[in-house]
Structure 1
């Protein structure tokens, strides 16, 4: 399966979506094999690495310019400052051309540069640490097979004291254990494969798991949903909760990863970019394995009491705004017209515990994922001219109509998202 390297201009949402996805340093090592570069064995290893680079969406953080794949430069703003994805092409001066397979393995498994200095966990080595050595070597072999691009890696722009790299030793002692991964106890090979793709190669926990004030993922709440600190999008729960995947079938999960839409809604924001550039290219067997694993995750939180009822005045205002701006595409009853116009009735993001995704969609608009199924997706215009009160009323109406019961949205929730 050839990856077309058909990079649509990577949106800011994507650049922020996957916390310095394939590495803030490099991506992988070529197994110390005696096979010649053009031998069948080496070709197979490179192809495996190419597929892993797609599964990990390495381009999301390491490709700022479509004509310079993996040459770095993608910005990742955070509360600590801005990280920049480095050049991971074989450039000897600016990339990883001088790295050995062991160097790359050290970065992936231990989170350390070749000189032993600790790497910032914006590069998700806390997830990659459980990657197998064979896959690390394959990814390295693929990166080393690419053209070298002599673009300097941009230095991170971090606030004091976070620019003091030596302080990472304390962070690592508290929050990082090499080889650690969420345990999976099953003999089902498909579930094991899905666990590896979700938790390790695809590092889904980097976005869907809450983080503490120091940026460490809270593994006790793995995949239970989290606000992405840079973009403010809400990565919905992937657990078996009512707000997560409880109502999703395996087919629903496969469909949204393959096409970007399902009966539960359309992938938007950062997740839309992940579908466009990563999951739509994965093998059907791997998508099915991911779905099977996710459906094994139990509900993680007890049922919550009913949310406060929305204010009648807000619902009236929201209904008027919906009829004026939204009904022509999403339908009078929120039924939509998938895949072009997602349904809002029963939509997972609409019913999410937080209203961020609804508010951001209203304010910023956007496109559904570009996939083989929707090569020219319809877009939603931004409605940023609406006041915070109107945005809150519209979001309140959408989240509490047609069977949705997600509670009201306050104008003060809109202001920081604008």
Structure 2
């Protein structure tokens, strides 16, 4: 009887070890090799600046309340409240100690496209790499080149404040297994080049779905509710539906949307408010053709 119990216990332990090892292998960080980033050439700084504004980097990474040129000092420090705890946005200035000054293009590219940090650790998806993974290598190279031209800051953001079990980074591999991929969020039949460009901007650097799409209990997007509106991640109110089925925007033309993104004024002469006001100011810096492409995509997505 004792021998049988011991064999049973050893089998159970073995299964647990095998299960844990399988989980780790399947969900381990998987950065792209350095060779992937080796031959992209010199960055196009002008394009990198456009990618910077498309991505709204300053809205999160500048010091809270920064204005004017201070918005280009990416010192971090903004606190992002969530159901999983409080995330503190890091310094991504070129400072060698507090920021990304010691990083390489490969380090930066793997953070953007694989959600993997410089030390090989999983990054939390509060940093929207789930959207950035759709960006082109060229745009990431150009953005990296532009970031290195910005002022340095020695500010060190505090660590995230996350309760157990959300403070266990290993579990992020399971989250990635369930939700992380680089496939289009929606498939639009017969999309022309303008719609394709808008899809790239909205689903990639613009990461619009991060606020405008509802999530399940683990923080993954509800795939059949893309851009259909969601609770405000900052805790108050809601983020609107921006599909053609929206009660507010459903009657807007593509021209109305493009004008709103440029000026901040709706067809009813209301103005952008809350966090969208900052988003609109960033998008206003893009070429008119990009705002028109975003509008064309938003008119082409499925109504919810």
**TM bucket normalised to smaller:** 0.7 to 0.9
Q: Structure 1, residues 236-264: CA drift from partner, whole Å, max 9, x if none?
A: 11111142532010111011111111224
Match of 2:261 in 1: 257
Match of 2:51 in 1: 52
Match of 1:223 in 2: 227
- Offset at 1:50? 1.1
Tell whether the 8 Å contact from 1:49 to 1:139 is kept in structure 2 after alignment: yes
- Give distance in 1, aligned partners of 2:101 and 2:200: 28
Match of 2:154 in 1: 150
- Runs of 4 or more, structure 1, over 4 Å off, are 29-35
- Give distance in 2, aligned partners of 1:254 and 1:133: 27
**1:93 equivalent in alignment to 2:92:** no
- Offset at 1:198? 1.1
Q: Structure 1, residues 181-237: CA drift from partner, whole Å, max 9, x if none?
A: 323443511111011111111111001100111211212210111112323232111
- In structure 2, relative to structure 1, the CA distance for the partners of 1:34 and 1:60 (3 Å cut) is closer
Computed over aligned residues only, the root mean square deviation of the Cα atoms, in angstroms, reads: 1.9
**1:64 equivalent in alignment to 2:63:** yes
1:256-295 aligned at under 5 Å gives the runs 256-264=260-268, 265-276=270-281, 278-295=282-299
- In structure 2, relative to structure 1, the CA distance for the partners of 1:212 and 1:93 (3 Å cut) is same
Instruction: List alignment gaps of at least 5 residues for structure 1.
Output: 1-28, 36-41, 301-418
**1:180 equivalent in alignment to 2:179:** no
Match of 1:248 in 2: 252
Tell whether the 8 Å contact from 1:81 to 1:159 is kept in structure 2 after alignment: yes
- Give distance in 1, aligned partners of 2:132 and 2:257: 23
Match of 1:339 in 2: none
SS at match of 1:262: coil
- Give distance in 1, aligned partners of 2:106 and 2:144: 10
For 2:136, which of 124, 132, 135 is the aligned residue?
A: 132
Match of 2:197 in 1: 193
The structure where helix makes up a greater share of residues is: 2
Tell whether the 8 Å contact from 1:260 to 1:275 is kept in structure 2 after alignment: yes
Instruction: List alignment gaps of at least 5 residues for structure 2.
Output: 1-35
Tell whether the 8 Å contact from 1:31 to 1:141 is kept in structure 2 after alignment: no
Q: Structure 1, residues 140-168: CA drift from partner, whole Å, max 9, x if none?
A: 11111222222213211112221111111
SS at match of 1:173: helix
Match of 1:118 in 2: 122
SS at match of 1:281: coil
Match of 2:213 in 1: 209
- Give distance in 1, aligned partners of 2:88 and 2:246: 36
Tell whether the 8 Å contact from 1:240 to 1:295 is kept in structure 2 after alignment: yes
Tell whether the 8 Å contact from 2:232 to 2:239 is kept in structure 1 after alignment: yes
Match of 2:171 in 1: 167
